Amino acid sequence: MTRGVGGESPANLQKYLNGVDYPASRQALAKRAKDNDAPDEVVEAIENLPSDEFGGPQDVMKAYGQTH
């Protein structure tokens, strides 16, 4: 299995984004992740995503895959 930030699979990134209303900005995603007690590495990865706006979870995963 592919491992992402914090030794977790990239799909687990979505658990920290639970409750996001899409479309969402990168800043909104990072705030939601913090609110959902995401590890600092996950929040940092979100803050460094290459896009500023995401239409849905699939867009987040695509951007995450491009950076990791």
Tens of pLDDT, residue by residue over 49-59, are: 999 999 999 99
- Return d(Cα 42, Cα 37) in angstroms, integer: 10
Q: Is the dihedral of CA 32, 35, 36, 39 positive or negative?
A: positive
Helix or strand (DSSP H, E) at 24: strand 24-25
pLDDT for the residue 2: 41
Length of the chain: 68
pLDDT for the residue 7: 52
Tens of pLDDT, residue by residue over 16-46, are: 999 999 999 999 999 999 999 999 999 999 9
